[in-house]
Amino acid sequence: MTDLFAGLADPRPAQETMAEGAVLLRGFFAAGEADVIAELRAIVAQAPFRHMVTPGGHTMSVAMTNCGSKGWVTDRRGYRYDSVDPESGHKWPAMPSSFRDLAERAAAQGGLSSFSPDACLVNRYVPGAKMSLHQDKDELDLGAPIVSVSLGLPATFMFGGLLRSDKPKRFRLAHGDIAVWGGPARLAFHGVAPLADGEHPVMGRQRINLTFRKVI
Ligand code: MD6
Ligand code: FE
């Protein structure tokens, strides 16, 4: 192989299995990037990022918003999906076709065809923000996968097992990387380590994560 940048080439494979049912697609999201980022700005203008409160009363360091027919919310009453943004009283912004296309293409590349997400949770991390180990189990349809898109500053993703006590493996998630995750990995514990400071050329001093789910 002739590679002009051989000395600089990223040694990590384009596709890596994190666990059975969980695959990491590196640098998947490059084409169509501008569309997705423009749509993201429009969503945030309509439904701004906010720090939600967990049922235990802890304010999350990650700021969140949603698009799609359902949005993930948490407050003192619990975690749930709601079609209405509790801050505005209006429906969440619609899921743009550029988002849906990206999620569908990633699911197909990850070996899962016919993924039709109805919810997209948008997470925003500034340096120091983190997400503790958790399971994603608020969706009714646990048979459908989750597609998770990383933008901006790189993060360390912690991927454990089905028990909270299982020691997590660590993976770097960079701008353009997409994790596709389902089947036996669907209920694995996972989280994000405190974000290291930095400046991303496109996204600035933050990391954005889009997670696409099928809720109903
Ligand atoms: C994040 N992601 O990457 C948080 N959950 O910011 C998640 O919690 C997540 O990436 C389920 C499946 C994929 C994920
Ligand atoms: Fe999660």
Ligand 1 proximity of 123 Cβ (cutoff 6 Å): yes
Side chain identity, residue 15: Q
Tokens representing residue 166 in the block: 């299982």
Q: Is the CB of 211 under 6 A from ligand 1?
A: yes
118 neighbors 69 (Cβ within 8 angstroms): yes
Burial of 159 (0-12, 13-18, 19+ CB in 10 A): buried
* DSSP structural state of residue 200: B
Distance from the alpha carbon of residue 164 to the mean position of ligand 1, in angstroms = 16
- Ligand that comes closest to the CA of residue 22: 1
Per-residue pLDDT at 130: 98
Determine the pLDDT at residue 140: 79
Q: Is 148 in the pocket of ligand 1 (CB under 6 A)?
A: yes
Q: What is the pLDDT of residues 7-26, one digit of tens each?
A: 566 667 899 999 999 999 99
Cα of 91 from ligand 1 centre, angstroms: 23
Evaluate whether 136 touches 121 at the Cβ level (below 8 Å): no
Q: How far is the CA of 71 from the centre of ligand 1 (A)?
A: 15
Ligand 1 atom, smallest distance to 123 CA: 6
3-state secondary structure 106-148: HHHHCCCCCCCCCEEEEEEECCCCCEEEECCCCCCCCCCCEEE
pLDDT of residue 190: 96
CB of 136 closer than 6 A to ligand 1? yes
Number of residues assigned to the chain? 216
Helices 33-46 and 97-109: crossing angle, nearest 10°? 130
- pLDDT tens for each residue of 176-200: 999 999 888 989 999 999 999 999 9
Q: Is any atom of ligand 1 closer than 6 Å to the C-beta of 206?
A: no
The single-letter DSSP state of residue 89 is S
Closest to 79 in 3D by CA, of 53, 60, 59, 61: 53
Q: What ligand 1 atom has the least distance to the C-alpha of 173?
A: 3
Is this structure's pTM higher than 0.85? yes
**174 CA from centroid of ligand 1 (Å):** 13
Please check whether residue 210 is in contact with residue 174, taking contact to mean a CB–CB distance below 8 angstroms.
no
Residue 40, pLDDT score: 97
Residue numbers in the chain where pLDDT is lower than 50 = 1-2
Residues, CB-to-ion distance under 5 Å, ligand 2: 136
Other beta carbons within 10 angstroms of residue 153's beta carbon come to: 23
What pLDDT is recorded for position 47? 98
| Residues paired with 15 in a beta bridge | 25
User: What's the mean pLDDT when you consider all of the chain?
Assistant: 92
Is CATH 2.60.120.590 the right assignment for the domain spanning 15-213? yes
